[in-house]
């Protein structure tokens, strides 16, 4: 009987661990401004300057702040979620164009 309970507990822990890993992987958007809180355009502009962006334009597109400009002399575009400070999942700051 004890072996059955031990097996059930071990199995439950394995399933819970797998579920936790899947949940973490699904929420892996890159943090642009730490804190998981709403961010302003002014905060984004200050972060862009400190990260080496120049000649950039910040515009609001729904809940995202769209940024286009030069990053280390190369044209780049990113979108930041204004509610969380995270980059949009499809934006990895490494444009191929």
Q: What percent of the chain has pLDDT over 70?
A: 80
Q: Which residues pair with 61 in a beta bridge?
A: 64
What is the number of other CB atoms lying within 10 angstroms of the CB of residue 54?
11
CA distance 74 to 76: 6
pLDDT at 97 over 50: no
Q: Which residues pair with 19 in a beta bridge?
A: none
The pTM of the full predicted model, rounded to 2 decimals, is 0.62
Q: What percent of the chain has pLDDT over 90?
A: 44
12-31: pLDDT as tens digits: 888 887 776 666 655 556 88
The pairs formed by 64-68 with CB atoms below 8 angstroms and a separation of 24 or more are 64/88, 65/39, 65/41
Q: How confident is the model at residue 68 (pLDDT cuts 50, 70, 90)?
A: very high
């Amino acid at each position: 009987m004890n072996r059955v309970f031990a097996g059930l507990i071990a199995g439950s822990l394995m399933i819970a661990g797998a579920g936790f890993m899947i949940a973490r992987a699904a929420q892996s958007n890159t943090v642009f401004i730490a804190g998981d809180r709403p961010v302003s355009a002014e905060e984004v502009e200050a972060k862009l300057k400190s990260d080496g962006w120049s000649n950039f334009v910040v515009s609001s597109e729904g809940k995202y702040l769209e940024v286009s400009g030069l990053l280390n002399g190369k044209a780049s575009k990113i979108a930041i979620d204004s509610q969380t400070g995270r980059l949009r999942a499809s934006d990895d700051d490494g444009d191929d164009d």
